[in-house]
Amino acid sequence: MLILSCPYCGVAADETELHPGGEGHLVRHGPGSSDDEFESYLFLRRNPRGVHVERWRHVHGCGKWFHAARDTMTMEVIGTYPAQVSEPPSEILNALGARSA
Amino acid sequence: MKHYSAFAIAREALRGHTGWERAWRKATPKKKYDVVIVGAGGHGLATAYYLGKNHGIKNVAIIEKGWLGGGNTGRNTTIIRSNYLQDPSAAIYEKARSLYETLSQDLNYNIMFSPRGVLMLAQTEHEARGYKRTAHANALQGVDTEFVSPERVKELCPIIELSGPRYPVLGALWQARAGTARHDAVAWGYARACSDMGMDIIQKCEVTGVRSDNGQVSGVETSQGSIDCDKLCIVVAGHSGHLAEMAGFRLPVESVALQAMVSEPIKPCMDVVVMANTVHGYMSQSDKGEMVIGGGADGYNNYTQRGSFHHIEETVRALIETFPMISRLKMLRQWGGIVDMTGDRSPIISTTPLGNCFINCGWGTGGFKAIPGSGWATAEMVAKGEPGPLAAEFGLNRFREGRFIDESVAAGVAH
Ligand SMILES: Cc1cc2nc3c(=O)[nH]c(=O)nc-3n(C[C@H](O)[C@H](O)[C@H](O)COP(=O)(O)OP(=O)(O)OC[C@H]3O[C@@H](n4cnc5c(N)ncnc54)[C@H](O)[C@@H]3O)c2cc1C
Ligand SMILES: [Zn+2]
């Protein structure tokens, strides 16, 4: 069972308590954007073998969206952090850097 | 290649089975091939087979990082049907189903195609309306299906519970010519035929890089060295995103684990396939007597070939509601495969941004049934350099152009 800690309420939640929301930090495109930008935003995904930065919602808990960095090969969770940021916070980036070093 | 026949069995019985040959040659990579296919699953092998058979292209290597058929082709629950809603899907799945009917003869290899019929249960009013619509669409497409009553469902599958606790059975979409086949045999049969045409099937050889020259593919790097090719076809299911990254593009595909399991063998009790999409589970009985059970896919990307435990629980719960008699069955094995999901639940058979590099992927939870038709269409595309009528609608561009082939209803439960 995948367990993620909700960065808001601090609960270590089982995956049955959560809802997955797909790749995180997608750059959103709106009116006036090119076809390439729309395609990239709506459909194209990194789908990495390795660390995936993704969105989750604590549906059966506080109800809030948050981010997680998780390894898709090993299921290791590198960390979770709030939704209101456009890139992973430094402690997550450092942890990722330490892994690839 | 020696022909398999009743006579051959008798001959070998008399001489202690000393005369059987290996089904396919062990191959080491040559310097260069006309076509390199990455992935020796059903779709890769079938592509190679029809490249040779339909287009006379035989200087072909099929490169596999593990063993052939060890991906989803050897992990699926073997349902074959063609009762999809949209015309392009009906065309390619029906082509595949009809090729399956004579595939054993064509390959001289018993793939155990069993057209036992598939029932897709309607358990809500909405689902019943949806399947009636599919039956009408299928009639126009020339695919033989009908919407049948609950009484007929019970006749076809006596162990079913029509008035379950949550969702009564309101009818079903019945395709009498649908069924199952032996998954390994499909891979092995194609492999044997490819090897017989002189193609090289190179196992335990992982592709680690794609080489290109002026926007045209020129070869691949592998764990057994570098191999040149004029054309490259990527057919790696769940690993498509990884290969696309090597070739320099991204795909509208995400990889998740899908699970299945089999029970201990019991006496014959069910001679059709039943899919229950509302409660989310499906079941058939193998020739060995095991109940073959499949259910839900994970909701998040992963490559672990394992899957989440709670899906097993949900699937079993759904099937006990539908078939109360299985409640005491013991499960023997459970496994997962990494499936490649697209947004419209339809596959991709396409040219790519890299010249002479083609891709076949996105079959997700339901590509076993499509293997012969997909191989046929992909071989045509690789041979001619552009997709023919069967593949044309399945191009990568359909996403950016908004021409989806929406099969999220027909795909229903992950099958
Ligand atoms: C549990 C489960 C149940 C299913 N049930 C059904 C069903 O009932 N009916 C149905 O129609 N479909 C079903 N499917 C879907 C079906 O199995 C797949 O769509 C189909 O088998 C895909 O075939 P393929 O040849 O594209 O992929 P695969 O068989 O997965 O072959 C791809 C191959 O590529 C190889 N590869 C990957 N990366 C590399 C690399 N870098 N270098 C070299 N080789 C590489 C892999 O090792 C693999 O052997 C099910 C799938 C699962 C997992
Ligand atoms: Zn919370």
> What structural domains does chain A harbor?
3-100 (3.30.2270.10)
DSSP for B48-102, please give it: HHHHHHHH----EEEE-SS-TT-SGGGTS--EE----SSHHHHHHHHHHHHHHHT
CB pairs under 8 A between A and B: 65
* pLDDT confidence of residue B260: 95
How high does pLDDT run on average in chain B? Answer: 95
Q: Which of B65, B255, B301 to mutate to test the interface with A (most CBs of A within 10 A)?
A: B301
- Residue B415 pLDDT exceeds 60: no
pLDDT tens digit string along B14-28? 999 999 999 999 999
Q: Which of B63, B64, B72 to mutate to test the pocket of ligand 1 (most atoms within 8 A of CB)?
A: B72
Which residues line ion ligand 2, judged by CB < 5 Å?
Answer: A 6, 8-9, 58, 61-62
Residues of A in contact with B399 (CB under 8 A): 39, 42-43
CATH architecture type of domain B26-78+183-252+344-411: 3-Layer(bba) Sandwich (3.50)
* pLDDT confidence of residue A26: 94
List Cα–Cα distances, B386 to A91, B71, B231, B377, B395, in angstroms: 48, 27, 12, 10, 10
Provide the β-strand partners of residue A53: A69
DSSP for B248-308, please give it: T--BSEEEEEEEEEEEEE-S----SEEEETTTTEEEEE-TTSEEEEEEEEPSS----SS--
Q: Which of B63, B65, B76 to mutate to test the pocket of ligand 1 (most atoms within 8 A of CB)?
A: B76
* pLDDT confidence of residue B296: 83
Alpha-carbon span B26 to B7, nearest angstrom: 27
Ligand 1 pocket, CB under 6 A = B 38-44, 63-66, 70-73, 75-79, 206-207, 235-237, 239, 243, 258-260, 294, 337, 339, 363, 365-369, 415
Alpha-carbon span B319 to B282, nearest angstrom: 7
pLDDT tens digit string along B382-412? 999 999 999 999 999 999 999 999 998 655 5
8 A C-beta contact, residue B322 and residue B160? yes
Read off the tokens for B332: 């023997």
* pLDDT confidence of residue A78: 96
List Cα–Cα distances, B301 to A47, B77, B100, B165, B256, in angstroms: 7, 21, 32, 33, 5
What number is the average pLDDT over the span B1-24?
94
Half-sphere exposure of B220 (CA within 13 A, CB side): 32
pLDDT tens digit string along A60-88? 999 999 999 999 999 999 999 999 999 99
B254, A22: Cβ pair inside 8 Å?
yes
Element holding B226 (H helix, E strand):
strand B225-234
Residues 38-67 of A with CB under 8 A from B: 38-40, 42-49, 52, 54
- Residue B413 pLDDT exceeds 70: no
Domain ranges of chain B: 26-78+183-252+344-411, 115-177+255-342
* pLDDT confidence of residue B411: 57
* Residue recorded with tokens 């191989």: B375
pLDDT tens digit string along A23-66? 999 998 989 999 999 999 999 999 999 999 999 999 999 999 99
Q: Strand, helix or coil at B200?
A: strand
- Cα of A62 vs centre of ligand 2, distance in Å, is 4
Q: Could you tell me the pLDDT band of residue B155, with boundaries at 50, 70 and 90?
A: very high
Q: Could you tell me the pLDDT band of residue B165, with boundaries at 50, 70 and 90?
A: confident
- Residue B182 pLDDT exceeds 60: yes
The number of the ligand nearest the C-alpha atom of B64 reads: 1
The number of the ligand nearest the C-alpha atom of B118 reads: 1
pLDDT tens digit string along B208-255? 999 999 999 999 999 999 999 999 999 999 999 999 999 999 999 999
Q: Could you tell me the pLDDT band of residue B92, with boundaries at 50, 70 and 90?
A: very high
Q: Specify the CATH class of B115-177+255-342 in words.
A: alpha beta
What number is the average pLDDT over the span B112-123?
97
* pLDDT confidence of residue B31: 98
pLDDT tens digit string along B314-366? 999 999 999 999 999 999 999 999 999 999 999 999 999 999 999 999 999 99
Residues of B in contact with A35 (CB under 8 A): 400
Task: Find the distance separating the first CA and the last CA of chain A, reported in whole Å.
Answer: 29
